Amino acid sequence: MDAENNMNIKKSELDNFAELAFDELTDKIRVTEENIKRLEKEIEEYVTDLRYIKLIKFAVLIIPLVIFGYLIYNNFIVSQDFTYFYDIGSEKDNYLSPATRISDKIIEEDVNYRNMTGHLVYFNVPIPRGAETIKVQAKFKDNFPKNTKLRFGAKDQEVWHYVYKEVFNSNNNSNEKEWIISEEISFDIEENNLYLIDGKLSMFLNMEHLNPSRNETNTEYIPVDWIEIKVHKPGAFEK
């Protein structure tokens, strides 16, 4: 009887030990699984971070190359045309000077304009680096006496000196008192040796008959609606 009880006690102890060992093993396995999952997550995050780091490094490398390539293409390879439209009769600041040779804005039907009352009226044109030609056109009213001309000039020396070209001759026109859009005239920056100051070209509109020595009564004037300037910059394959 005692032997049987002792055996039952030992069996119970063995069962308890086995259960405890199993629980402990189960806990270790659970901890191990959690550690594995945590490690897998850390590895995944590391790989993701590594991808982002590589992507950032690639972007840091490629973006300057793209910008540099764009600048090279835009400034040296592709040709460009720049148009500057000077609306003389607009509400904005007047583009011409000096103000003493220009009237206030005048509204006539659907045209806003200003009268040129002096023989030389100046304006500036931005010229991008590498530009080659400049084309000029204007809309004005034929208020010219006979034997008079309208000319555009472009500065070609550091001192006061301009090369000029004729855009209108009253002797060749019969549309008196009508609005006229002139033909385009062209200046070549290199051939005409044009002189730029801070990337700008000084130009003038010349109506010789409005010189004070000829316009003593100050009753003559030339209405001007707009001036349009087209600057051409050739590309690498155009030259």
Q: What digits encode the pLDDT tens for the residues 42-65?
A: 667 666 766 767 777 767 777 777
User: What is the C-alpha R_g of the chain?
Assistant: 42
Q: Of 27-36, 80-89, 160-169, which range is least confident?
A: 27-36
Q: Enumerate helices (H) and strands (E) in the chain, giving the number of each.
A: 1, 12
Average model confidence (pLDDT) across the chain: 80
Mean pLDDT across 152-158 = 96
Mean pLDDT across 222-231 = 94
Cα–Cα distances in angstroms (integers) from residue 8 to residues 13, 17, 20, 104, in the given order: 9, 14, 18, 122
Q: Of 60-74, 86-100, 116-130, which range is least confident?
A: 60-74
Residue 174 pLDDT grade (very low, low, confident, very high; cuts 50, 70, 90): low
Q: Percent helix, strand and coil across the chain, each rounded to 5?
A: 35, 35, 30
CB-based contact 164:154 (threshold 8 Å): yes
What's the pLDDT at 159? 94
What's the pLDDT at 114? 92
pTM given for the model: 0.67
What's the pLDDT at 165? 95
What's the pLDDT at 217? 46
Residue 91 pLDDT grade (very low, low, confident, very high; cuts 50, 70, 90): confident
- Given a cut of 80, whether residue 117 has pLDDT beyond it is yes
CB-based contact 205:182 (threshold 8 Å): no
- Given a cut of 70, whether residue 181 has pLDDT beyond it is yes
Buried b (16+ CB within 10 A) or exposed e, 72-109: eeeeeeeeeeeeeebebbeeeebbbeeeebbeeeeeee
How far, in Å, CA of 196 to CA of 176, rounded? 36
Mean pLDDT across 89-94 = 75
